[in-house]
Amino acid sequence: MKTAILILLSIVICSSAQNLKWSLENAKLYNFSHFMNEFEKKYDNEQELQFRKNVFETTLKKIHEVNANPKMTWKAGVNEFTDRTDEEFGKQFGYNKALSFKNHKTPNFKVNKQSKRSLADVPNIVDWRDRGVVSPVRNQGRCGSCWAFATVATVESHIAIQTGHLLAFSEQQLVDCAPNNHHCGGVGGCEGSTQSLGMSYFHLVGGMVARDDYPYTAKDGECQSKIPKVASIDGFHQIRTNDYDAILEGLANRGPLAISVAATSWKIYQEGVYNAWDDCGADVNHVVVAVGYGESEEGKFWIVRNSWGESWGEKGYIRLFREKDSASVNCMINNSPADGSGCDGDPSQITVCGICGMYMDTSYPLGGRLGGRFA
């Protein structure tokens, strides 16, 4: 009888241990078995399991180092990406740098220029989520479609600001249909593009289709061009490169902005104001959406929406370090601006400013109206 009780007790204890969920409080107890159970990880064979275990433990060591560093104003944590290498993780980004530079040099899309408004009346805190014009965070999956997700999320917000209606538009429309006009590395769709080309496409074809009408599949597909459009924009505005004041003014007075960032080091972000300048670097590779800015005991920050689902970061968001003013902006040199998809004549290096290079490439849509069944 005692033996049976002991066996049952052992099973209960083991089961409880396996069900341990990651938190900062139990960080020292958490291990690979807990991770596999929490995120329902399954591997094809013993060799892959051991490889993933090694990656997990290396990443977990980095998490502990960050959390023990008093200079960090953020906390690292375990998430679904903890068993993936940086190279694997980077494949899901999708910002095509070379294509962006080509667009800046020889634009073939409609760009409206707007003069800056004064910063005198810019409020100390702006968060467009509080105004009901920001849609729920979505997950791009293992497709390099961040550019499509950032484009759609930004356009959704600006349509809501203009019309009072927050609709869900289709990322898959962009993945399948938006062309790569300069054929830089043969990219597009899940292989990457830019937010500027996404907005340009929406303008040129007469608008966006509903997400329900053209669902996301996380893979390249054939363009479904006959689905009725439900809204449209007049064009887009591209903010001058590395212009802190214009970004601040844009967020305060215009709405959310599509921005480009160096995001490889974001894999372990959990909460707080991200200030890991050395880890972030200048290799811009991802597109996200700035939805506001603020300040706390941890310092001033930008509020940034990602496309990796709500289980990552602060319910799908990250707060990035923000300088006190434009005179305090830090800049870096990106020595590999055309990695993976270069175009002839691309620069050998560029200057990117702000943490993770977030001031380099910023844009937002202009105008906006409902159409189709929502008109």
Average confidence (pLDDT) per 10 residues, the chain, 375 residues: 45 56 95 96 96 98 97 96 91 74 46 57 93 98 95 98 97 92 66 90 95 97 96 94 95 96 96 94 93 94 97 97 95 70 60 94 94 78
- What local confidence, expressed as pLDDT, does residue 181 receive? 61
76 domain residue, yes or no? no
353 domain residue, yes or no? yes
How far apart are the C-alpha atoms of 33 and 319, rounded to whole Å?
30
Q: Which of 27, 42, 70 is the last residue of a domain?
A: 70
- Say how many domains are in the chain: 2
Q: List the CATH number of the domain containing 343.
A: 3.90.70.10
- Domain span at residue 118 reads 90-374
- Number of Cβ within a 10 Å radius of residue 88: 13
The answer on 264 and 143 residing in a single domain is yes
- What local confidence, expressed as pLDDT, does residue 261 receive? 95
The answer on 201 and 147 residing in a single domain is yes
- What local confidence, expressed as pLDDT, does residue 301 receive? 98
The answer on 328 and 366 residing in a single domain is yes
Q: Which of 70, 99, 128 is the last residue of a domain?
A: 70
81 domain residue, yes or no? no
Question: 66 in helix, strand or coil?
Answer: helix
* Bridge partners for 102 per DSSP: none
The answer on 34 and 126 residing in a single domain is no
82 domain residue, yes or no? no
Kindly list the catalytic residues. 146, 286, 306
- What local confidence, expressed as pLDDT, does residue 183 receive? 52
pTM as predicted = 0.89
The answer on 96 and 26 residing in a single domain is no
How far apart are the C-alpha atoms of 304 and 268, rounded to whole Å?
16
- What local confidence, expressed as pLDDT, does residue 51 receive? 97
How far apart are the C-alpha atoms of 55 and 124, rounded to whole Å?
41
166 domain residue, yes or no? yes
The answer on 132 and 45 residing in a single domain is no
The answer on 271 and 153 residing in a single domain is yes
CB-neighbour burial class of residue 73 (10 A; exposed 0-12, middle 13-18, buried 19+): middle
CB-neighbour burial class of residue 290 (10 A; exposed 0-12, middle 13-18, buried 19+): buried
Q: Which of 11, 39, 70 is the last residue of a domain?
A: 70
The answer on 32 and 115 residing in a single domain is no
83 domain residue, yes or no? no
- Number of Cβ within a 10 Å radius of residue 369: 14
Chain position carrying tokens 């791009």: 140
Between the alpha carbon of residue 58 and those of residues 62, 65, 265, the distances in Å are 7, 11, 14
User: Would you state the structure tokens that stand for residue 123, as one six-digit string?
Assistant: 């409020």
The answer on 130 and 51 residing in a single domain is no
How far apart are the C-alpha atoms of 298 and 293, rounded to whole Å?
13
The answer on 144 and 293 residing in a single domain is yes
How far apart are the C-alpha atoms of 171 and 134, rounded to whole Å?
15
The answer on 24 and 104 residing in a single domain is no
The answer on 175 and 64 residing in a single domain is no
Contact 36, 76 (CB under 8 A): no
